[in-house]
Amino acid sequence: MESLQCLWRRLQKNSDIKEIAYHCAMKRRLLQGVVLFLSGITVIALGAEFSSSVSPTEGWKLTSGSKDVAIYSRPHAGSRLKEFRAVGLIDAPTWAVHAVIDDLENYPHFMPYTLECQLLKRESDSIITYQRLSPKICGDRDYTLRVWKKSWPGPEGFTYLDQWKPANDLGPAEKKGVVRVKICDGGWLLEPDGAIKTRATYSVYTDSGGLIPAFIANSASRVGISKLFEAVRKQVRNPKYAAGQL
């Protein structure tokens, strides 16, 4: 018959095992919680890099609006040229809209004023692209951009963020008769609005150069942004962008 002392030791050992198991389980839960918390911070940080806000408290003023797109503007410090931000719904999921925006080589076929578009280099988190435009109000313009590309999942689907800044030193040299654009900062933020719609936010501040008066340049930006949304809406109907998700 097992002595009371041996029985006590065995029970104590079992208790120690249970306690160890308990603490291991608690550590796993804590680790999972930390991972989820950090993931949440990452998503918040990514979204915070490119605001979709058009709040009047931040200086934004509605300059033109329709059922398709609302265009806002605000002054830019030290310049008569304005910053623009446009928000509109597109009847397609975010991944399809992003596929259109990512289809650089075909920009001359559907993007307004685009004569040429080349993908020069693809890096881990960005691409280098050269574009030449032919606006109706002035001579040809060109620039090279670095576009940073990010995406993250959400309850309704993926959000996509493309942001760009000039990188003319990484592209072709200036060409005779073509004005080199030195300032062009902007981005696209594509957020799910349900499973099959996208809330698209387009932001841009640019100086097209030359001797174009600011009021004409600002007006041309508004027109160009409207045409941009029209082009994306039309192009996303092409079945090839839906096929890319299959």
For residue 136, the domain's CATH number is 3.30.530.20
Q: How far is CA 95 from the centre of its chain?
A: 12
Over range 132-161, report the average pLDDT: 95
pLDDT at 171 over 90: yes
Residue bearing tokens 């603490």: 23
Give the residue among 100, 135, 142 at the shortest CA–CA distance from 225.
135
Over range 202-215, report the average pLDDT: 93
Residues 85 and 192 in one domain: yes
Residues 105 and 35 in one domain: no
What pLDDT, on a 0 to 100 scale, did the predictor assign at position 245?
Answer: 57
Burial (CB < 10 A; 0-12, 13-18, 19+), residue 141, is: buried
Q: Which residues pair with 186 in a beta bridge?
A: 164, 204
Residues 100 and 179 in one domain: yes
Residue type, 52: S
Instruction: Quote the number of domains for the chain.
Output: 2
Residue bearing tokens 């050269």: 130
Under 8 Å between Cβ of 85 and 63? no
Lookup: tokens for 185: 């900062």
What pLDDT, on a 0 to 100 scale, did the predictor assign at position 136?
Answer: 81
Residues 129 and 176 in one domain: yes
What are 105-140's pLDDT values in tens digits? 999 999 999 999 999 999 999 999 999 999 988 899
Its domain, for residue 22, covers 1-48
What are 224-245's pLDDT values in tens digits? 999 999 999 999 999 999 876 5
pLDDT at 221 over 90: yes
What is the C-alpha radius of gyration for the chain, rounded to an integer number of angstroms?
26
In this prediction the pTM is: 0.79
What are 12-44's pLDDT values in tens digits? 445 444 444 444 444 444 333 333 333 343 333
Residues 197 and 177 in one domain: yes
